[in-house]
Structure 1
Amino acid sequence: MDRIVFRRLRQALTRFAAREDGSVVAEGVIVLPLLIWAFIGLFVYWDAFREMNTVQKAGYTLSDVLSRQQTGVTNAYVVGMQDLFDYLVGDDSENSIRVTSVTRNGTNDKFEVHWSRTTNSERMPALTTTKLQDYIAQIPSMADNDYAVIVEVNVPYTPAFDVGLGDRVFTEFIVTRPRFLHCVPMDNVPCPVS
């Protein structure tokens, strides 16, 4: 009995697969909207990942430039970094950056802010030692009295089409050790003598 059922089912499927009649217009009307929806969805997700990748690369570029700084950083320098970031990202709508020099205090084993500057104090206020404690998990281990530069970037993103990926903000938190100096000085906050 089972053999007969399976044989008839196999014959029916074979006949169905061999048929070549049908309406191209009807099939096109059914499939075309699905193809368009899939194309738009792939475009939006591809664009979001492209933007996220660009933000990450631009943030690491700023961090690398700042870590190589051998003279005091000024507010104008930070504004110039914002201009460079906007150029690298290709959009300057509401991007913001915050650069902070931090140290690990050897006496109380606590991270402290040496100096902090931001280009948008409403979206990203300057970092304080108290607020820095919220980011401890993101800062790698450091030796006592060692310094690091933190570059944070925020870039709002709005997808071109609504396919389930809502508005979001791409953020990067990049910690880099100064390359040529013990610490990166700010114009009015010198580095302590080590």
Structure 2
Amino acid sequence: MIIISNPTAVANEIKLIHSLFENGMELFHIRKPDFSEEEMKVFVTAIGLEYRNRLVLHSYHHLAEEFGIKRLHFSSTNRPDNFQKTEGFSISTSTHSIEEFNALSEDFDYAFLSPVFKSISKENYEPNVNWSTEIEKRIHFKTKLIGLGGIQSENIHQAMEIGFNNVALLGSIWNSNNPIENFKSCQQIVLSF
């Protein structure tokens, strides 16, 4: 299961990130769109060295080498047209329709498809399609399909049943009074598949 950082700072954020890793978080996507390069360096440096292999950079990709990070994410707007994977790197991207997902290069290890449900963290961001029927149009199986948007313990089972390979959490972690407990309950559901 993947966790995406809150776009803005959160109280005790680094401590929470470490706790999520200690409780089995597989991958942590660092999406901080308003961070300067210096702020990004400080943030990454604060995360324990032992977790660097599970960090995914959404911006300042050139910092990957400096920090020994081997995972990069491209939004749908900054994804290169003729994408070619760099040896030794895991690459992911974001998509917003099954057609966009199906058109991806096979070089992407996984792609987010959103919004699956009504977003917890973004106002007025909800699906305008029935994902149960849309996912039947999937023809691209080399890239893993990751459900994002409104994912929480109450609907993970549904997302996995309709055909997502895994899920990513954002609002259900960072907008929660108990992010670690929320993570654990979501994790149990994913592991049961």
* Both structures adopt the same fold (TM-score exceeding 0.5): no
Which of 1 and 2 has higher RCO (CA within 8 Å, sep 6+)? 1
TM-score (norm 2): 0.24
Kindly indicate which of the two structures has a greater share of residues assigned to helix: 1
Structure with larger Rg: 1
TM-score (norm 1): 0.24
